[in-house]
Amino acid sequence: MIELLTVENAIALVTLTSLEIVLGIDNVVFIAILTGPLPDAARRRARSVGLTLAMGTRVALLLAISWVMGLTRPLFALMRYEFSGRDLILLAGGLFLIGKSTFEIHARIEGGESHRREASTRSSFAGVIVQILLLDLIFSLDSVITAVGMAREIAVMVIAVIVAVGIMLVFAGQVSALIERHPTLKMLALAFLLLIGVMLMAEGLDRHVEKGYIYFAMGFSLGVELLNIRAGRARAAHADAA
């Protein structure tokens, strides 16, 4: 225990916790989209269960770190590409995200409000949790591999994951409410998920994409959309005053 209380571990803990929160943004957005059609009470419960599962998945992968790192070894080669277990998982996850986000975007453009009512009747709590669990596994892999590169002690990694998920639990409701209130934000969130799906596919094909560029693009787009929302409110306030 005393060996854990070092300056190096403290710096690693703060840095890793911050990184886990950043890497968890896409997870929070995905959970917000999936839980949207559920009733309010079930939506809150699904968010809590989803993020708790994310934490459990990451902690379990950290405790099985030798198995996780073994996933990076090539399994077979196809044409000029070598595929590892990690590559196959990332490709499957990327395909799922691209398919899911494309379907949701198409349904919202073509179906409008009727799609929302139909989705509400189709969506089940168990089905949403299963989808969250599958994507948690995909998002957790990169998170765990990153953690291994930044800290030496498993305990430090586990604490960072628990703290990061705790913070995400606090703000997940606000993120979901914001997305639900503004249809344009929901469309933007779906576009983010489509972008992340493409990134996962590229990573699975050994084409590394710097995540900083992705998150900067997401942050910039979100900032512009929030300014649009604020400008819309200002116009409405001026119209009411007139």
| pLDDT tens-digit profile, the chain (242 residues) | 445 567 777 777 777 777 777 767 777 777 888 787 777 778 888 888 888 887 888 788 777 766 766 677 888 887 777 888 878 888 888 888 888 788 878 877 776 544 454 454 445 777 888 888 877 777 777 667 666 666 667 777 788 888 888 888 888 888 787 777 777 877 887 888 888 888 888 888 888 777 777 778 877 887 888 888 888 778 877 777 76
Residue 148 has what pLDDT? 63
pLDDT value for 2: 43
From its phi and psi, is residue 112 left (phi > 0), alpha (psi between -120 and 50) or beta? Answer: left
pLDDT confidence of residue 121: 44
The predicted pLDDT at position 123 comes to 58
Q: Are 196 and 215 in contact (CB under 8 A)?
A: no
φ/ψ region of 206 (left if φ > 0, alpha if ψ in -120 to 50, else beta) reads: left
- The dihedral built from the CA positions of residue 71, 99, 174 and 239, taken in this order, carries a sign that is positive
> What is the rounded CA–CA span in Å between residue 47 and residue 102?
22
d(CA 227, CA 215): 18
Question: What are 81's strand-pairing partners?
Answer: 78
Cβ atoms of 98 and 197 within 8 Å: the answer is yes
d(CA 227, CA 222): 9
Give per-residue pLDDT as tens, 43-67: 888 888 888 887 888 788 777 766 7
| Number of continuous H segments (helices) and E segments (strands) in the chain | 9, 2
pTM for this predicted structure: 0.69
Amino acid 126: pLDDT: 79
- On whether the CB atoms of residues 102 and 153 are closer than 8 A, the answer is no
**Residue 82: phi, psi to the nearest 5?**
-105, 130
Q: How far apart are CA 162 and CA 54, in angstroms?
A: 10
Model pLDDT, residue 23: 67
Rounded to the nearest 5 percent, the helix, strand and coil shares of the chain are 85, 5, 10
d(CA 60, CA 82): 27
Predicted pLDDT at 27: 75
In one-letter notation, the amino acid at residue 22 is V
Could you give the angle at the alpha carbon of 226 between the alpha carbons of 46 and 54, nearest 5°? 25
Residue type, 82: E
Q: What are phi and psi of 78, to 5 degrees?
A: -135, 115
